[in-house]
Structure formats: C-alpha cells, structure tokens
Structure 1
Amino acid sequence: MSILNATQVQKPSVTKADDLLFPVELVPVGAIFDDGNYTRSNNYQAVVRTDTNEVLGIHGKGYNLLSNAEAFDAFDEALHESQLDLSGMTVKNEIANYGAKSFRTYTFPAHTVQVGRSDDETQLKLQIINSYDGSTSFSSRVGGFRLLCSNGMVIGKTFMHASIRHTKSLDIKSVISKLDETINVYLENANQWQQWSNQRISLYDLEAVVKHFAEGNEKLEQSLIENYHQEAQEIGQNLWALFNSFTHWTTHFPVREASQHNAASIRLNRELRVQRLLESNEWKRLAA
C-alpha cells in the first residue's frame, strides 16, 4: 500500500528564487491499495503547489492554510502603516525546499546605526518567514545588515520573534502590531554591539568560544578563527569582531551543491545556532 495525496505527484520544476506567490491549495490525503481501491482520510490534508504538483506538507484537519500572498501582502500593508521610515527600503525573496518555506527580507537604510569606527554601519533588517511544511509558524525576525563586509550581507542577532501558527484562530494582526516596537529593540541591541566593540578578548578566549561552538568540526573551527583575524584587522581584537566572524559564517560558509535548493533554510539554522551561542554561559562571560 502506498500513501498519496489526491493529486498525482510529479517532480517539481525549477522556479525563480524570488517567486513567493505560487499557487497552493489544500487537498485530501488518502491511500491507494494494491487492488486499486482508494480510501480518503478525514483527519489529514496536504498542501499542494498546484503549478508543479509538489506536495509541500501534510497536516491534520485543524490546519488553516495561510498563503504567502496573504501573509506577505498583509505585512507589506502593515509596513506602510507603521512608524518605520521606508526610504530606500530593499526587499529580497527566497524559497527553500521548492517552496515549502519562504523568506522575505526587508532592509531599511533610513535606520542605520554606527558601531565602533565611523565607517562601520549596520542597517535595520526585518525578515518574514512562512512555511507550508509545518517547520515554522508565520514569524518575524529582526536583525542587522552590516555594510562593512567585502563579501556582502552579514546577518546579525535575532532579537525579536513573533509568530502565529496555521490554525483556525489565526490572527495576523498579533504579528504586525509589533512592527512599531522594532526600532526601540533594534537600538537597544545596537547599544550592546557598541559595548562589544570596546571589549577586548584574548587569544585564549577566542579559541575557547570557537571550540565550544564548532563541537569538534575542525574545518569550521579554523574558518571561524580565520574570519575573526580578518575582522580584527579592520575593527580591532574585540567581541564585536568575534560576533561578526560567526555571522559571516552564517551567510558565506559554502552550502553543498546538492543542498542549494534548501540554502535559505540552512542559513536560518546557522543563525539560530549563533543565537544559542549568544545565550550561552561562554558568551555571557565574555560580554560581562
């Protein structure tokens, strides 16, 4: 016996990375027996991407479909009603696992802070995530876009997380109502980054924290230390340089070719791993 959804599954076609508004629908989940008989489940349903017939997730009967179009359009509208200065705002879209998870990242040049030296600037960044596979709820993450990086974007610490599950009680307003809080939260953390830029660290502390983070991965350990020394040449031997060696890894460490379709999710998992480091006793000891 094989378990299928009611729509014939086909190999997904290649789509543009910035195409978040592909069509989806909920369809019944059932089973086809060897004799050709079919039975339909009353307890499970599938999210199907109808332009490729890719099954993006299997859920219980209480699941409520929140489409990317609904989620991201509502957030865009809320942004324009918020107190955020949208001058020069840029938007980047990404998908993972053929659309099972989608990311929209906004960068706000009008909200720029200086950390350490005069040319080390970080812009406010807001990332929205929606998934059809149940891996995450509709959520928002606030961070920074550091301009002083020859290789491009470096994502900073996540310091606000608001989420809502895909259920019949979905109320998207409980997420977008937090938008006006982001500036204060961002500035509070910018002050923390400024403190880190004034906190020197020893080679011993550097190696201890990196070893703790790498968990036996010698290649990662070496890469982080090399990144730190590169950062330190620019901004000094301090905690800010160490922090940016980790965030540089989240974005720029290679993703295997076979995993490129999931690169956005891999980067997210790396960022969450760095976040756990920032909450660890090892990091708090250095930042005290």
Structure 2
Amino acid sequence: MESLEWDIIEKPIFANNKQVLGYKGIFRNDNGQLLNIAKSSYTPTHNEKFIEVTEKLHAITGFPIENYYDVDGGKKVLSFLKCTDTMQVCGHEFKDYLMIGNSFDGSTGFFIGNSNIMVRCSNRFSRNFRQLQVNHTKNNSLRIDGLVQYFDMFMKQRTQLFEKMEQLSWVKIDDSIKDALVERLTRMNDEEKLGNELSTRKRNIITNLNSSIDRECADLGDNAFGLFNGITHYTTHIKNTKNATFGNPFGSSNELNQTAFKFCTELINA
C-alpha cells in the first residue's frame, strides 16, 4: 500500500525581490514542488490531518484502508477504504469504496464520497457527496473533524446512489436518447448534429462512445442503466486509460461520468 510520506509547507511569494502581499505559495516539503499560489486566506488541509481522518474512519467503520494516492504531482490526494459489504444492481455485483479526497490547488475542498467498480466489466464511477465537503477556509479543521461523525450520512448517501442506479434499469431508451447523450457529452453544435463540420477527432470520440454504449446496452438492456454504463465503460477502458486515476474521480473522465449520470437520472421522472 502506498502512503503519503510528505506534507506541505506554506511560504511567501516574491516578485522583483518584493513580497507579494495577500498571497502565499504552497509547496511539497520533500521535493520543493510548487502546488499552488493562493490567497493568504486560503487554509489548506495538511496531509497529516488527511491521514488522521482516514485512520479515524477506518477505526469507526472497520473498512480496511486500500490505498493512498497523490495526483498531478501532489496537487490532489486521495485515500480509499474498501467497503466490506458488497452492493448489487440488477444482480450485478459492485466493489465499492469510501473515498476521501483533498486538494492543494484549489480545485476541490476536503471531501468524502463513493468510488465503485462494476465487477462484471471493471467500469469505474466516483461521486462526491455534497453534504460531506469542507472548503479550505478558516476553522476548516474543526469542520473536517465533524465529518468523521457523519458516517451514517455516508452510508445513507451510498445506499441512495445504488438505489438510483437500480431505478435506471427501469427506464427504457431508444436510439434518439442515446444520440442525445452523445451530443451533450461531445458538445455538438447544430451543424455537427447534421453530420457537417465534424473534426476527425470528434468523429472518433463519437464512434467510440457509441461503441461502448452499444456494448453495455447489449449486456444490460436498452435502458438508462446500460446507457450510463456505456459512458463509464468509455471513460474506464477507452479514454486515456494509461493516465487514469483509480476511480476516475477528477478531470474530463469524471466530468463525462457526472454529466451522463445526471442525464440518465433525469430520465427517471421524465
């Protein structure tokens, strides 16, 4: 198991031999890498605190700590606790994890969420829970300590997430809905929707998305659950797989997954 054997240090920033007032630099203390230039009011959560919270949640839940990761050279950090009770959707088993994350580049606050893997195909999907996030502001350490007390909320949010996935399987879809999602994910304009002015790159992306959707719908049915898994298949197995972070919790793959999940869940009450 990897560990976070480094932390951050905060230093003043200088320009033309003068200190830049109101700002500071956040650096790794092991290799000196600059992680962020932030306002002086920005209050980062140190890795020491991050590890402490991870270990407290391990003690409370009994979930084993699977691993620690740093992303983008340490601009973001993650830990994963393996949930010991498996979840199923439509008879398909999921391995899932309590995911804890933090950033030093201002892209996220301190958060707790769920990361899951569909055993059948290894499709990965991560989701942060809004109620379990703390921004990097004054007294954030106390609020982070409070998150540890909300494990029941995590379990409730986790159950609701998988219930929502189960409901997706009840929603039948046709090719027009598949096309609408692909158009949204690729941000196609009116001309591109007519098949005009499509770049080779975008055409390849569309082909790969449709191939993943067809693959998953063939196995899971022409329903919103199959459609959603078509996108997680694409982001897990097709798109930038060499540089993927476990669970796809950040970046463009995560954005595609979140957009697809929102699109598909909106179909439930349509």
Scaled to the shorter chain, the TM-score interval is 0.7 to 0.9
Could you say what secondary structure the match of 1:248 adopts?
Answer: helix
1:96 aligns with 71
User: What does residue 257 of structure 2 align with?
Assistant: 274
Amino acid at match of 1:284: E
Amino acid corresponding to residue 167 of structure 1 in structure 2:
T
Structure label with greater radius of gyration: 1
Task: Give a deviation string over 1:173-216, Cα, whole Å, max 9, x none.
Answer: 23222222122222222222222223221122212222222223
The aligned residue for residue 215 of structure 2 is 230
User: Residues 45 and 136 of structure 2 are in contact (CA less than 8 Å); yes or no, is this contact kept in structure 1?
Assistant: yes
Counterpart-to-counterpart distance in 2, 1:74 and 1:286? 36
Summarize the alignment of residues 55-74 of structure 1 with structure 2, pairs less than 5 Å apart: 55-74=34-53
**Matched residues in 2 for 1:276 and 1:163: separation?**
20
Query: Number of residue pairs matched?
Result: 254
When residues 92 and 250 of structure 1 are mapped into structure 2, their CA distance, relative to the original with a 3 A threshold, is farther
> Deviations 1:238-260 (Å, cap 9, x if unpaired)?
21111111122333333287xx4
Q: Is the 8 A contact 2:56 2:148 kept in 1?
A: no
- Match of 2:73, SS state, is helix
**Hey, what does 2:7 align to over in structure 1?**
23
Distance 1:106 1:272 in 2: 23
After TM superposition, the runs of 4+ consecutive aligned structure 1 residues lying more than 4 A away are 156-161, 262-267
8 Å CA contact 2:11–2:24 kept in 1: the answer is: yes
The question of whether the paired residues in 1 share the 8 Å contact of 2:168 and 2:265 is answered with: no
3-state SS, counterpart of residue 187 of structure 1: helix
1-side partners of 2:173 and 2:269: how far apart? 10
Q: Which residue matches 2:179?
A: 207
Q: Are the structure 2 counterparts of residues 65 and 198 from structure 1 closer, same or farther at C-alpha, using a change threshold of 3 Å?
A: closer
**1:53 is paired with a residue of what secondary structure?**
coil
User: Which residue identity does 2:76 align to in structure 1?
Assistant: K
Conserved 8 A contact 1:56-1:99: yes
- Give 1:6's aligned residue: none
Q: Structure 1 27/18 Cα, relative in aligned 2: closer, same or farther at 3 Å?
A: same
- Cα 1:30–1:206 shift into 2, 3 Å: same
Aligned to 1:52: 31
Q: CA deviation at 1:125?
A: 2.2
SS at match of 1:111: coil
Give the Å deviation of 1:25.
0.9
Offset at residue 159 of structure 1 (A) = 4.8
Check the 8 A contact 1:95/1:264 in 2, yes or no: no
**Structure 1 position 166 matched with structure 2 position 136:** yes
Q: Distance in 1 between matches of 2:129 and 2:44?
A: 27
Aligned counterpart in structure 2 of residue 128 of structure 1, from 97, 100, 107: 100
Task: Quote how far apart the aligned CAs of 1:165 are.
Answer: 2.2
Quickly say closer, same or farther: Cα 1:241–1:156, change in 2 above 3 A. farther
Please give the residue correspondences for 1:251-262 in structure 2 after superposition, counting only pairs within 5 Å: 251-255=236-240, 260=243
Give the letter aligned to residue 49 of structure 2. E
What is the alpha-carbon distance in structure 2 between the residues aligned to residue 240 and residue 285 of structure 1?
A: 11
* Kept after mapping to 1: 8 A contact 2:69/2:78: yes
Amino acid at match of 2:210: I
CA contact (8 A) 1:26 1:65 kept: no
SS state at 1:155 partner: strand
| Separation (CA, whole Å) in 2 of partners of 1:220 and 1:286 | 27
Contact 2:164–2:265 under 8 Å retained in 1: no
Alignment RMSD (CA, Å): 2.8
- When normalised by structure 2's length, the TM-score is 0.81
Indicate conservation of the 8 Å contact 1:102/1:131, yes or no.
yes
Please give the residue correspondences for 1:7-46 in structure 2 after superposition, counting only pairs within 5 Å. 18-31=2-15, 33=16, 38-46=17-25
Cα distance in 2, alignment partners of residues 205 and 78 from structure 1: 41
Change beyond 3 A, Cα 1:55–1:264: farther
> Which amino acid letter does the alignment assign opposite residue 101 of structure 1?
K
2:167 is aligned to: 195
Is 1:184 the counterpart of 2:156? The answer is yes
How far off its partner does 1:227 sit? 1.0
User: Unaligned regions of 5+ residues in structure 2, if any?
Assistant: 189-201
Q: Is the 8 A contact 1:79 1:179 kept in 2?
A: no
Between the aligned residues of both structures, percent identity stands at 20
User: Are the equivalent residues in 2 in contact too, given 1:155–1:248 (CA < 8 A)?
Assistant: no
CA distance in 1, matches of 2:183, 2:21: 50
